[in-house]
Amino acid sequence: MHTALISETASTTSNTSQNVLKMAGLLLISIGLLGILVAAVGADYISPVFTGLGGTLVLTVGALVYIWQSRWHKSPAEQNHGRWHQEATSRGPSAWVIGFVLTGFYVLLYWFPDTLQGLIQATEPLSQWLRGRPSDQWFLYGTFYTLAILVMGVYALLKYRNSRYHIIRTISVMFFQLGFAFLLPGLLLMLNKPEYYFSYFWPLKYDYLFPGTIDYLVRDGAALGVFMVFWGAVFSFLATPVLTYFYGKRWYCSWVCGCGGLAETAGDPYRHLSDKSRKAWQWEVAILYPILGFVILTTLFLWVNSWSEGRLLGDLSGGFASTYGFFIGAMFSGVIGVGFYPLMGNRVWCRFGCPMAAYLGLLQKHFSRFRISTNGGQCISCGNCSTYCEMGIDVRWYAQQGEPIIRASCVGCGICAHVCPRGVLKLENGPREDRYAGSPLIRRDELRILS
């Protein structure tokens, strides 16, 4: 009894200091948000650089303090405690507010960027320092986006700290976002070179193989521009199939891609919200592959148009391109893709919309060594794997029958294997021979889930 009393007192003291630090973190977050608000609306009264950049800095520090305090003291197995009890992560009122605010922000960003003038001015010194040119709404967006991945990357690192796979993977997405999608494109502009994202490829970055873009890169970038065109084409048509053959789709979707980067970090608290029903899978297939088809068609039309100097198709191809840009590039990937995180999970875009994911998925399903193996007869059908699959795959369906999971949509994040309480799942690359064969230790059900 004595020892119990002592340990209880000790834990109370440490709880108090934890709570004080958490409160301090929340206070800093609030001050930061206020600063950003003042920068957005009060630019006439006080320098938006001071309130906006300063606010962002304070917000970052506060968020890191809070994340550290709330994650470090939780053991690895406790990290999902209360996920479905807390309203913010179970489509409660605050989830809707965050969803609406994010969606609204994207609407302003895409169609009313003038309303964000104060915030754009706030990032002016950063833009000048990095890119040597004035800030604009895309630079503002890139800054926030990168910060979100970095700060929430720390969250993911702490949450999954007992897994080397997740530590390395999280550092990878943080690195590619910061280096390849933020610093490098800025630096290129500083050097008066064309802005280019070496970590995005056609068909995700659909215009990288449009004749107009290639024309611009070669004209403005000279030798470097030629390299950029070469890089993009090699990655789209050579490196992507080869890497996917060896490692599956994950080499890109959960290690490199910026959309994936945001989903795996800032989106991680919402991963369980993805719909696992068969209906959702039917929607997925019905939307995703037509979009890939649309990108391919658009690209082909533009090339035909360019070769025929507009004689053959007139303005049709341009119409195709701008339609795609509006509905898919802006509406889907931004507004719905990120805005709906707290409501539909963190991979809405990747799952239902991304043409790159569709392309990688076809390769993964039919031309890859990757699979998720299940361990003999060890599955207890608990459902943690399916629940925490951000792509809405019913992982348990396969695991409880001792079958490997080979699905076009799997981005290989590895969280199913992490949350499994019996160690049943393992992401691995192996020979394609007998790739679909399951464990001999379970007799299987022959009903197909996908039909």
Partner 1 sequence: MEKINSQEHLVIIGNGIAGVTLTQRVRQRSKCRITMVSAESPLHFSRTALMYVYMGHMRFQDIVPYADWYWQEQQIELVQDYVERVETRDKKLVLRDGAPLHYDKLVLATGSSATYYDWPGQTLKGVQGLVSLQDLELMEANTAGIQHAVIVGGGLIGVEMAEMLRSRGIAVTMLIRDKLYWHNVLPQQEARLVTDHIRQHGIELLLQEELQEILADDTGKVRGIRTRSGHELPCQFVGITTGVKPNVDFLKGSGIDLDRGILVNEFFETNQPHVYALSDCAQFRNPAPGQPMLEQLWYTGRLHAEALASTLLGDRQPYVRGPWFNSAKFFDIEYQTYGTVPAQFTEQQESLYWQNEAANKAIRFLYEKDTARLLGINLLGVRYRHDLCHHWLQQGYTLHEAMQELPAVNFDPELFQHYEEELLRQYYTRFPDQPPPGRHSNWWELRKRFGLFSDSTSC
For the CB of residue 132, give the shortest distance to partner 1 in the complex, in Å. Answer: 40
Nearer to partner 1, 127 or 400 (CB): 400
Residue 303 beta carbon to partner 1: minimum distance, rounded to whole angstroms: 38
Q: Shortest Cβ distance from residue 337 to partner 1 (Å)? A: 24
* Closest to partner 1 by CB, 142 or 267: 267
Which of 238, 441 has the CB closer to partner 1? 441
Measured from the CB atom, the residue of 305 and 368 that comes closer to partner 1 is: 368
Which residue type, as a one-letter code, is found at position 78?
A: E
Output 202 or 370, the one with its CB closest to partner 1.
370
- Could you give the 3-state DSSP secondary structure of residue 320? helix
- Nearest approach, Cβ of 369 to partner 1 (angstroms)? 10
User: Nearest-5° angle of CA 362, CA 359, CA 242?
Assistant: 80
**Is there a contact between 264 and 257 (Cβ–Cβ < 8 Å)?**
no
For partner 1, the closer of residues 74 and 133 by Cβ is 74
CB of 178 to partner 1, least distance (A): 22
DSSP 389: -
Question: How many Å apart are CA 352 and CA 428, to the nearest integer?
Answer: 25
Pick between residue 279 and residue 311 the one whose CB is nearest to partner 1: 279
By the 8 A CB rule, do 249 and 410 touch? yes
- E strands, 354-424, in order: 370-374
Beta bridge partners of 20: none
Minimum distance from residue 283 beta carbon to partner 1 (Å): 16
Distance CA 371, CA 439 (A): 14
Q: Which residues contact 249 (CB under 8 A, 6 or more apart)?
A: 357, 360, 361, 363, 364, 368, 370, 410, 411, 412
Give min distance, CB of 83 to partner 1, in A.
5
Burial string for 392-424 (b: 16+ CB within 10 Å, else e) reads bbbbbbbbbbbbbbbbbbbbbbbbbbbbbeeeb
Written as one string, the DSSP assignment of 64-127 is HHHHHHHHHTS-GGGTTTTTTTSGGGTT-HHHHHHHHHHHHHHHHHHH-GGGGHHHHHHTHHHH
